[in-house]
Amino acid sequence: MLKIKNLSVKHGQIEAVKGVSLHINPKEIITLIGSNGAGKTSLLEAIVGLNKNIDGEINFNGTDIIKLNSDQIVNLGISLVPEGRQIFSKMTVSDNLLLGAYPRLKKEKVSSISFDFIYTLFPILKEKTKLLAGTLSGGQQQMVAIGRALMAKPKILLLDEPSTGLAPLVIKDIFKILFNLKEQLGISIILVEQNARLALEYSTRGYVIETGFIVSEGDSKDLLSDNNIVRAYLGKNYKEVTDK
Ligand SMILES: Nc1ncnc2c1ncn2[C@@H]1O[C@H](COP(=O)(O)OP(=O)(O)OP(=O)(O)O)[C@@H](O)[C@H]1O
Ligand SMILES: [Mg+2]
């Protein structure tokens, strides 16, 4: 479905991603694990066209998307839920959601845009639709960020550390919703997570990225039982140690 080959991503002279190859199949969740600064965000941003200082191949359902701009990539069906959520706290929940539909407005009228699907998925957002997004709890704000990405009707959803700053029970709720998106709608998901153990439990495969290179990949259950990976990324204190 999405095939990345030998992708390099630079910020000016700094090469953040160095010849990465990975793929995701239809209706699959994969996890990307890596320490701070490993290149995870750079990789996700490059996939959705937010950084054009890139080299290599990104093929989505047979289309080479490396030269396309962000709106075109979103319209083809890849959406990013960015690190730190990036919602607009002084705008209402519904206006934040509507922003996610912006790339669709080239083909559709605003009046035809429906929020029903998002409100079915996150009923609490329906209750809060007219409130300023900044007044919501962290978990609800993450739902807004996910809802906004879903408004573009993606086939692949990229999530950059969705659990940051959320309570364990809220994190589980969010992961369950992501799992249901995959099961019920067939949306594929690339999950970047510091909370690596939980993410691997919800995914079929995982990749480990270190200083811009993929250093390990495999079935999630194999990664979960790999001693080196457990020691480096899944140890009891991993989250506390690496959380910003
Ligand atoms: N806008 C930028 N300008 C210059 N260097 C950058 C920029 N963004 C990222 N980098 C550098 O690129 C490398 C990869 O950063 P990136 O944010 O992709 O890592 P990450 O794996 O997402 O880290 P984190 O876990 O902290 O979110 C780091 O060395 C970082 O300092
Ligand atoms: Mg990051």
The model's pLDDT over 39-77, given as tens digits with 9 standing for 90+, comes to: 999 999 999 999 999 999 999 999 999 999 999 999 999
Element (H, E) at 29: strand 29-33
Q: How many domains does the chain have?
A: 1
Q: How far is the CA of 157 from the centre of ligand 2 (A)?
A: 16
Choose among 68, 37, 9, 22: nearest CA to 191: 22
Torsion sign across C-alpha atoms 205, 208, 212, 214: negative
Task: Ligand 1 pocket test: pick from 7, 13, 14 the residue with the most ligand atoms within 8 Å of its Cβ.
Answer: 14
Q: Nearest ligand, CA of residue 33?
A: 1
Q: What is the phi/psi pair of residue 26, to 5°?
A: -60, 145
Choose among 153, 146, 124: nearest CA to 137: 124
Torsion angle, alpha carbons of 84, 86, 90, 93, to 10: -100
Model pLDDT, residue 151: 95
pLDDT in tens, 209-234: 999 999 999 999 999 999 889 888 88
Model pLDDT, residue 240: 45
Model pLDDT, residue 236: 55
Q: What's 96's domain CATH number?
A: 3.40.50.300
DSSP conformation class of 234: I
Separation between Cα atoms, residue 117 and residue 98, nearest integer Å:
13
Distances (CA, A) of 17 to 10, 54, 171, 229, 238: 7, 9, 28, 20, 23
Q: How far is the CA of 41 from the centre of ligand 1 (A)?
A: 7
Residue with CA nearest ligand 1 atom 1: 11
Q: Nearest ligand, CA of residue 233?
A: 1
Separation between Cα atoms, residue 172 and residue 166, nearest integer Å:
10
| DSSP secondary structure of 151-197 | TT--SEEEEESTTTT--HHHHHHHHHHHHHHHHHH--EEEEE-SSHH
Q: Nearest ligand, CA of residue 242?
A: 1
Q: pTM for the full model?
A: 0.93
Provide the β-strand partners of residue 148.
none
Positions of the chain with pLDDT under 50: 237-244
Model pLDDT, residue 242: 45
Q: Nearest ligand, CA of residue 16?
A: 1
Choose among 154, 3, 152, 153: nearest CA to 64: 3
Separation between Cα atoms, residue 104 and residue 102, nearest integer Å:
5
> Which atom of ligand 1 is the closest one to the Cα of 43?
18
Q: How far is the CA of 53 from the centre of ligand 1 (A)?
A: 14
Residue with CA nearest ligand 1 atom 11: 16
Q: How far is the CA of 106 from the centre of ligand 1 (A)?
A: 33
Secondary structure tally for the chain: helices H, strands E:
11, 10
Q: The domain containing residue 129 runs over which residues?
A: 2-242
Q: Please enumerate in sequence order all residues whose Cβ is within 8 A of that of 13, keeping only pairs 6 or more positions apart, or say none.
A: none
Separation between Cα atoms, residue 163 and residue 112, nearest integer Å:
32
Q: How far is the CA of 172 from the centre of ligand 1 (A)?
A: 27
Q: Report residues whose beta carbon is within 6 angstroms of any ligand 1 atom.
A: 11-12, 14, 16, 34, 36-42, 83
